[in-house]
């Protein structure tokens, strides 16, 4: 089991656009396994490779979301994903492993169709609604350097950034006091 460090905001790595995966090799399979090990230990529904510092178009998600009988470790993989269709609109609260302890309401499409590749390199097209549609949109945003806070109103973005500055000042003060 290899648990990876989840990169947190405001690290600039999270703003990188990811490159498409080109090879299905041992390194890619190890990354997928390590991401699954990591996601199994945190309260998240999905995890993009960029969140663990790897700028490749890949994310894993819990396929059992919304199922009556959730499967244990039911992580699925989407590689080089692209949203090809979206419909409707839904406004719900969202959070992110890279922005711990912060949640806010975000507008997303209610239904999405995504095409990409599975872990074996087979082309797939998946249509999902509800929570899984939200997860897909959230993770694909990560692969494009977009965070859910970018989808907030300007007022809410301002409040978020003031909160972050306050936390950074508090951390700096605590570090300074710790050195005395």
Question: Which residues are identified as catalytic?
Answer: 139
State the alpha helices, DSSP H only, in the chain: 26-39, 130-143, 154-179
Give the CB-side neighbour count of residue 168, counting CA atoms within 13 A. 10
Beta-bridge mates of residue 112: 86, 128
Both structure tokens of 41: 């230990």
Quickly tell me which residue has 């711990």 as its tokens: 100
Beta-bridge mates of residue 92: 106
Report how far residue 55's alpha carbon sits from residue 145's, in angstroms, rounded to the nearest whole number. Answer: 10
- Which of 37, 72, 64, 74 lies closest to 52 in space, CA to CA? 37
Residues 123 and 73 sit within 8 Å (Cβ to Cβ): no
Residues 136 and 112 sit within 8 Å (Cβ to Cβ): yes
């Amino acid at each position: 089991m290899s648990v990876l460090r989840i990169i947190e905001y405001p690290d600039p790595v999270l703003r990188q656009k990811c490159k498409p995966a080109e090879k299905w090799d041992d390194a890619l399979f190890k990354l997928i396994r390590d991401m699954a090990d990591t996601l199994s230990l945190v309260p998240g529904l999905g995890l993009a490779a960029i969140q663990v510092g790897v700028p490749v178009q890949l994310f894993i998600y819990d396929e059992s979301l919304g199922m009556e009988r959730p499967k244990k470790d039911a992580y699925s993989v989407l590689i080089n994903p692209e949203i090809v269709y979206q419909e409707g609109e839904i406004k719900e609260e969202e959070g992110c492993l890279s922005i711990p302890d912060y949640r806010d309401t975000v507008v997303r499409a209610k239904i999405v169709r995504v095409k990409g590749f599975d872990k074996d390199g087979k082309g797939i097209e998946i249509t999902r609604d509800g929570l899984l549609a939200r997860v897909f949109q959230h993770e694909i945003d990560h692969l494009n350097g977009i965070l859910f806070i970018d989808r907030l109103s300007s007022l809410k973005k301002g409040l978020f950034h003031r909160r972050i500055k306050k936390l950074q000042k508090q951390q700096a003060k605590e570090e300074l006091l710790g050195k005395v």
